[in-house]
Amino acid sequence: MTRLLRTALIQQRCGNDKGANLERSCAMIRRAAADGAALVVLQELHAGPYFCQVEDPALFDMAEPIPGAASRAIAGLAGELGVVVVASLFERRAPGLYHNTAVVFEKDGSTAGIYRKMHIPDDPGFYEKFYFTPGDLGFNPIKTSVGTLGVLVCWDQWYPEAARMMALAGADLLIYPTAIGWDPADGTAEQERQRDAWITVQRGHAVANGLPLLAVNRVGFEPSPLHPETGIRFWGSSFAAGPQGELLAEASRDDEEILLVDLDLARSETVRRIWPFLRDRRIDAYGDMVKRYRD
């Protein structure tokens, strides 16, 4: 048996005009729905530029509550088109308390659930710890009319524990809205190593958990607000992998794109029967996993 789900990965460029970014996201959602997509996934922080290149208290003004203007726009569109949408927003939860939050909208426009990014980086050009409080909702997949979605966000994608927790909680697929790219000062070889590692680790999550996976990345160059001659070149390359890690589709490194992929959600059952990794886990011997390091 098969259980096909047409998905759309929305890879877009973003500028400083929030309204224009959101309008572009909505236009691409409409096109994806017209092409038969039942699940549409947007990239990380799709309504604005990647502002975490600098630490600036004024940039907290970009956040909004949920529900807010951006989430209401996406919710209305999901209801109008009858599609499930995964959006990624800068959430203002309370004064001085902000999250990097993924919101899943059901096809009737209601909110199916939210996930707050758990792993928060702090690296040159990615100063997210200044802006985002780590999530407090745990690793809980979100039930929707198209399946149970294991939604994680960007930096989470490097952690096999996060993917495993979603799988153990019954996720039908893993989803990663993402904003990752190169420092243009890095050499070509280093850039290729970084991109290859990003793809490889996520394909490994698909294999280890016997689940399909969607990774949706932004694209284009975004200059640093303080030093416009520097910035991040987001490498696009949004992709879908099957439950054996097989690449099903991959987007451009340089261009906006709607990547349509038909996933067979029933195939995970077949793969897990021949590769029963969940059966063979030594849960009796994993106690030290909750330690920071074994001295």
DSSP letter (8 states) at residue 160: H
- Residue 5 is predicted with a pLDDT of 98
Binned at pLDDT 50, 70 and 90, residue 264 comes out as very high
Handedness of CA 254, 239, 207, 166 (dihedral sign): positive
Max Cα-Cα span within the chain? 56
Kindly report, residue by residue over 108-134, the tens digit of the pLDDT. 999 999 999 999 999 999 999 999 999
Which residues form the catalytic set? Answer: 44, 117, 154
Listed by start position, the domains of the chain span 4-274
Kindly report, residue by residue over 69-79, the tens digit of the pLDDT. 999 999 999 99
Classify each residue of 65-104 as buried b or exposed e, where b means 16 or more C-beta atoms within 10 Å of its C-beta: ebeeebbebbbebbbebebbbbbbbbbbeeeeebbbbbbb
Kindly report, residue by residue over 56-113, the tens digit of the pLDDT. 999 999 999 999 999 999 999 999 999 999 999 999 999 999 999 999 999 999 999 9
Handedness of CA 260, 266, 272, 275 (dihedral sign): negative
Sort strands 84-94 and 39-42 into parallel, antiparallel or unpaired. parallel
Confidence check: pLDDT of 228 > 80: yes
Binned at pLDDT 50, 70 and 90, residue 229 comes out as confident
Supply the mean pLDDT for the chain.
96
Q: Does domain 4-274 have CATH number 3.60.110.10?
A: yes
- ∠ CA 69-5-26, rounded to 5°: 25
